[in-house]
Amino acid sequence: MNLAFLIIFFVLGLYMGSFYTVVGLRLPNHENFISSRSYCDTCHHTLSLLDMVPVFSYLFLKGKCRYCKCNIDGLSTYMEIFTGILFALSYFVFGISYELLIALGIVTMLITISVSDMRYYIIPDEILVFFSGFFLIIITISKGVSATIWALLGGLILFLCMYGIMLLGNFLFKKETLGGGDIKMMFVFGIVINPLLGLFAIFLGSVLALPLSFFLMVKKNQKIIPFGPFLLISFAFIYFTRIDISKIVDFLRLL
């Protein structure tokens, strides 16, 4: 394992995490995140390059805007660090390979959609469409057309399974239980992983979300939580650990 590449991927992840946060915050509001300059959310002053050095600018400015002295939202800094770690982990696990490209795509989805879903309860269709195409292209190049056809079929199966879960939940609880973005995101999952593993991701995401749901319901009387981040964490866990159905079955037998 090349230490220099590990550091490069970590630093790259810091910068990309900053960009992904901007995408997650601006895309649901239909704001330009490509050519428009970054600005302070409070005073709207355009930020200089020195104000946007990942992590270090936040620490140097002590979490306050250089211009209006208001507190800076720490979300971007947390996401920068998280993305840096995940980029380095992607290289550590997969090395330079096609699998690395898919891993980085999963990390990108995890950060951008988590930001968007946590702030606005929205999973942008643009992100799902882009990564559906991205993953299919990688699969076609690395494994061939037949694998791409199976990937599309897997995406369709998992999408229909999630749609069925939504219908059942709506019937049992007499209200909307899943957002459309969560359902459509399953199509992307099914492209990359086996649909059975996709169902396991739904189960695992539900288990991870349960404590937060209980806390918000009891403490803040909040009945809606962003489910997308938990699904994506489960998706990333399954892909990065390379777990398969047989290992899950063996584990269940031990319980």
CA distance 48 to 66: 10
Please return the burial class of 16, using the count of CB atoms within 10 Å of its CB with bins 0-12, 13-18 and 19+.
buried
From first to last of its 255 residues, what are the pLDDT tens digits of the chain?
689 999 999 999 999 999 999 999 999 988 887 767 777 777 877 777 777 778 888 878 777 878 888 787 888 999 999 999 999 999 999 999 999 999 999 999 999 999 999 999 999 999 999 999 999 999 999 999 999 999 999 999 999 999 999 999 888 877 877 888 999 999 999 999 999 999 999 999 999 988 887 777 777 676 778 899 999 999 999 999 999 888 777 776 776
The packing angle between helices 98-120 and 3-26, to 10°, is 30
CA dist., res. 219 & res. 105, Å (int): 35
Rounded Cα gap, residues 177 and 15, in angstroms: 36
Eight-state DSSP code of residue 151: H
Domains of the chain, residue spans: 1-96, 136-255
Residues forming a β-bridge with 71: 64
Tell me the one-letter amino acid at 182: D
Name the amino acid, one letter, at 92.
Answer: F
